[in-house]
Structure 1
Amino acid sequence: MERELDLVYKRVSTGVKGLDELLGGGLLLGRVYVVTGPPGSGKTTLGIQFLIEGAKHNEKGVYISIVDDARTIIQDMLHFKFNLLYYLKSKKIVIYDLSNFISEGNKKPTWGEVLDEIKRIILQENAKRVVIDSFTPLEFLVEDPENKRREITRLIKLLSTMKVTAITITEMLESDKYTDDQYVASGVIVMHHFMRQYQMIRAIQILKMRGTAHDTNMKKMRITEDGVVVYNEAPW
């Protein structure tokens, strides 16, 4: 019983310097988390760092892109010191582009069909870490947008039984409105950027995190050649 409890509360590192400390040691194993924010706030970078951290410890990672192709994602990450190409060549990280699956044929897919394809990929790759980027455009590409919460809840339960830790990336369209996946996920991390006294300010905020005591205030964040770095201090 104690061993089972240890597994339930096992933490996995995000790979983001400074963030694990704010999360009480990292993310909980087998949970699904939402990372949201405006364009250019560092969401994809954080997702790649999460997968690379797993790959370093022989946890296979899968990046599932809804819109961007693998080439674009790789090109965007090459200026970081991630050594991403090594992990791709060694198959410790695999990138999938779902745009062809979603657009093929004359009929829009349902939420269930898209998430079943995501499940198939995860099982095929025996992935332990998954990043899905992003659910936001799917709301306009599926036949049944009203079924989003039900199908995502089903996917979350499945990932939990498989002990897969996942990050879903979403675009923050309106700061005062929450999406279905934010309600059902175990945590929500918001990435911000805004101008203050003619300077660009970057910040990160742990809006929700089940099973972890956390500070909900914005924290200073930088994007460096090593990726996203978080500081336990106010952003200004």
Structure 2
Amino acid sequence: MIPMVKRVSTGIAGLDEMLGGGLIAGRAYLVEGPPGAGKTILATHFAMAGVDRGENALYVTLEEPADQLKEDMARLGFNVGSGNFKIVDATPVNPERSVVFSESPDIEFGESFERLLNSLSAELRKRDYQRVVIDPITMVKLTVPNELEYRKIFLAFLKTLRRYNVTVLMTAEVEKSDVEKYLVSGVIRLLRVESGDKIVRAIQITKFRGSAFDEVMRPYKITNQGIQVFPEETVFI
């Protein structure tokens, strides 16, 4: 008898429907798209869907300062004040918090992927997290310029996180995510496409190991309550 697969909600009903009920728990996924596509909003939906269920969520922000990110999240109605939610500011805006050039006061991020992994592992040992967001993974990639070396380190990174049985969601720009999308368990792509005589936002699942999924481009909108996906509608190019 085939065991039931545990599903994890993305926090977006239409996207969960496209995924056949949600992401598969304990695996790593990538959300890729151009600037302004809503990658961070989607990642926030994912983290907060866990918080709403009483799970612990860890959000590592590498690009947008934590205070600003919290303001944006709160404006969309997310409960950023929950004790189950921890956000770590590892942005390069403040030299003392740079993931690339120095250390964060919350988690000791440094100059390499190995430092990131050690720091994440230390935090995951301190608390039982179910969800982890790294937004964007692109910033860490800058610390490993050799692509072959990066591939090896990234694979080791995924294997280590798997030991903690957390579901991981990473974000990246489309043009900078070739290595990651081959190694993660699933890829969700956000696009801006021409549909007839207008430009629309479209979401597409391009990879989802271990499950059937909807491969069709579906329209989505960014509203004052976050992202809304329309799984019954199709984007025609």
Q: Could you tell me the TM-score, scaled by structure 1's length?
A: 0.85
Give, as a single letter, the amino acid of the residue that structure 1 aligns with 2:230: Y
Q: Does 1:93 align with 2:85?
A: yes
Of the candidates 18, 24, 28, which is equivalent to residue 22 of structure 1?
Answer: 18
1:25-174 correspondence to structure 2 within 5 Å: 25-82=21-78, 84-87=79-82, 91-99=83-91, 100=97, 101-104=99-102, 109-142=111-144, 146-173=148-175
- The answer for the alignment partner of 1:186 in structure 2 is 185
Task: State the distance in 2 between where 1:131 and 1:109 align.
Answer: 19
Give the number of aligned pairs: 223
- Distance (Å, rounded) in 2 between the aligned partners of 1:142 and 1:155: 13
Q: CA RMSD in A?
A: 2.3
User: Deviation at 1:154?
Assistant: 1.7
CA apart distance, 1:76: 2.1
Tell whether the 8 Å contact from 2:113 to 2:143 is kept in structure 1 after alignment. Answer: no
Q: Distance in 2 between matches of 1:147 and 1:79?
A: 40
Q: CA deviation at 1:53?
A: 0.7
The range that moved more, 25-34 or 116-125, is 116-125
The question of whether the paired residues in 2 share the 8 Å contact of 1:30 and 1:160 is answered with yes
1:216-231 map, 5 Å: 216-231=215-230
Q: Does the Cα contact within 8 Å between 1:115 and 1:151 map onto a contact in 2?
A: no
TM-score by length of 2: 0.85
How has the CA–CA distance of structure 1 residues 77 and 199 changed in structure 2, closer, same or farther, with 3 Å as cutoff?
A: farther
> 1:143 & 1:213 partners in 2: Cα distance?
35
The one-letter code of the counterpart of 2:115 is E
Q: Is the 8 A contact 1:45 1:228 kept in 2?
A: yes
Question: Is the 2:144–2:150 contact (alpha carbons within 8 Å) kept by the matching residues of 1?
Answer: no
Q: Distance in 2 between matches of 1:119 and 1:152?
A: 15
Q: Which residue in the other structure is 2:106 paired with?
A: none
Tell me the SS of whatever aligns to 2:211.
Answer: coil
Equivalent pair of 1:128/1:163 in contact (CA under 8 Å): yes
**Uncovered stretches (5+) of structure 1, i.e. residues with no partner:** none
Alpha-carbon distance change, 118 to 201 in structure 1, aligned in 2, over 3 angstroms: same
